Amino acid sequence: MTRISDRLTRLHPAATRVVSEKAADLRRQGRDVISLSTGEPDFVSPPAVMDAARAALEAGHTFYTPAAGLRELREEVAHYYGTRFGLDYSFDEVMIGSGGKPLLFEACAALLNPGDEAIIIAPAFVSYLEQVRFLDATPVVIETDPQTLDFALDDIRAAITDRTRIIMLNAPNNPSGRIYGDDLVIGLCELAMEHDLTIINDEIYERIVFDGAEYRNPLNLCPEARAHVLHINGASKSLAMTGWRIGFAIGPKELIRRMTMLQGHNTSGPNSIAQWATLGGLQHGQDDIDAMAAEYQKRKDLITERLGRMPYLRYIPPEGAFYIFADIRETYGKTVAGIRIEDDVSFCEALLEQAEIAAIPGSAFLQPGFFRMSFATSEEVIATAMDRMDAFFEALA
Ligand code: PLP
């Protein structure tokens, strides 16, 4: 029998699996399941991306690229951080990876020894926790106030020990859409400086913001923390390039150098055509990025307007990303489609069974009692889903 490592057997399968497997079963039975579960844009990548990819193929750019990625793209990302945030980075403080996720892993691997601790603020993208666990380090989860989905600086301060190395920060947040207040972000930066920690600042949704909300880079709020912040960004969300697998890491040179060493022994430089495509997207696709963000705004207006009229749900309208994260604890104890709702998982099962809507339980994001709906889908699909949800809540008894 193949003996799998302890490290790997310790990993939890994504809690999203229960719902997605059930949704696939129902589809196989011919049922018309609406998916509000996917965390990816429904847009095809913009023309600037496609054109650059075609040109790269024609030019024969089919060779290995450097382990840190194409110099041209690293320079363009550094330039982007200059124009977007006024931050001065050079190309050797930037690396390109095969998506945001592998870069998060490389960052954790570069910073954590076995037994070290990483602070993760709930609700959170669940891969943070599993990556930390995989490295024999300890995730320390900070609960947030369910009313505001804000964390308390005192809780972070109390969680810091001699073994703490990392604070994971993600705004606009997946799943909550929250952009944390300036005071909280400044407070985190101060704690990072005081205790010599690294903030891994996952800002992959920074271009998708609503109602004039402003996403501010932590280093605009606290420039002194520059040596303590690593930004994770990428092409997946803003440029609708999930399948191309391109992410960016921007931060202290030595950290980037070490992460690059690891990448060199693992994936090597990312896919060459995808890097040229991303370069085209950054150079010529800025209007498309804004146009897609405007579409998400319309969808967000539609879904929040409909949800606002429904009973049982409590949620804070998202300030960014493309998710609604709603508190459904008021439905506990009710029954529908023969399913008694006892927690967020049974809520999502009932929603799938009765309303044929696939959504993700909050426990998949370390925040039980909630569920996440993605509105990265057409207004027509959203409207149908909301009709079904109205009927679902009416059927609750
Ligand atoms: N960070 C967050 C918060 C995400 O939601 C995602 C994708 O869902 C990622 C990182 C990973 O992005 P990528 O597809 O570039 O690996």
pLDDT mean over 9-25: 78
Extents of the domains making up the chain: 6-44+288-392, 47-285
> What atom in ligand 1 is closest to the CA of residue 234?
15
> What atom in ligand 1 is closest to the CA of residue 102?
16
Least Cα distance to 171 among 156, 157, 188, 159 occurs for 188
Helical H segments across 65-143, by residue range: 71-85, 100-111, 127-134
> What atom in ligand 1 is closest to the CA of residue 39?
8
User: Token pair of 327, please?
Assistant: 């508190």
Distance CA 247, CA 278 (A): 10
6-44+288-392 topology per CATH: Aspartate Aminotransferase, domain 1 (3.90.1150)
Percent of the chain with pLDDT over 70: 99
Q: What is the tens place of the pLDDT at every residue in 62-120? A: 999 999 999 999 999 999 999 999 999 999 999 999 999 999 999 999 999 999 999 99
Q: For ligand 1, which residues put their CB under 6 angstroms from it?
A: 39, 99-101, 125, 170, 174, 202, 204, 234, 236, 242, 247
Helix 272-284 vs helix 71-85: angle between axes, to the nearest 10 degrees? Answer: 30
Same fold, 6-44+288-392 and 47-285: no
For residues 126-148, one letter each, b for 16 or more C-beta atoms within 10 angstroms of the residue's C-beta and e for the rest, the string is: bebbbbbbbbebbbbbbebebee
In the reported structure, the alpha carbon of residue 316 is separated from the centroid of ligand 1 by a whole-number distance in angstroms of 22
pLDDT at 15: 66
In the reported structure, the alpha carbon of residue 220 is separated from the centroid of ligand 1 by a whole-number distance in angstroms of 23
Domain formed by 47-285, architecture: 3-Layer(aba) Sandwich (3.40)
The rounded Cα 379 to chain-centroid distance in angstroms is 22
Cβ-Cβ contacts under 8 Å for 393 (sequence gap 6 or more): 310, 311, 312
Q: What is the tens place of the pLDDT at every residue in 304-339? A: 999 999 999 999 999 999 999 999 999 999 999 888
Distance CA 233, CA 251 (A): 11
Distance CA 175, CA 18 (A): 18
Q: What are phi and psi for residue 15, nearest 5 degrees?
A: -65, -10
More confident residue, 140 or 23: 140
In the reported structure, the alpha carbon of residue 340 is separated from the centroid of ligand 1 by a whole-number distance in angstroms of 33
pLDDT surpassing 90 at residue 389: yes
Mean pLDDT over all residues of the chain?
95
Q: What is the tens place of the pLDDT at every residue in 259-296? A: 999 999 999 999 999 999 999 999 999 999 999 999 99
Distance CA 145, CA 336 (A): 29
pLDDT at 193: 98
Distance CA 301, CA 150 (A): 23
Q: Whose CA is nearest to atom 5 of ligand 1?
A: 174
Q: What are phi and psi for residue 139, nearest 5 degrees?
A: -75, 135
Distance CA 70, CA 63 (A): 11
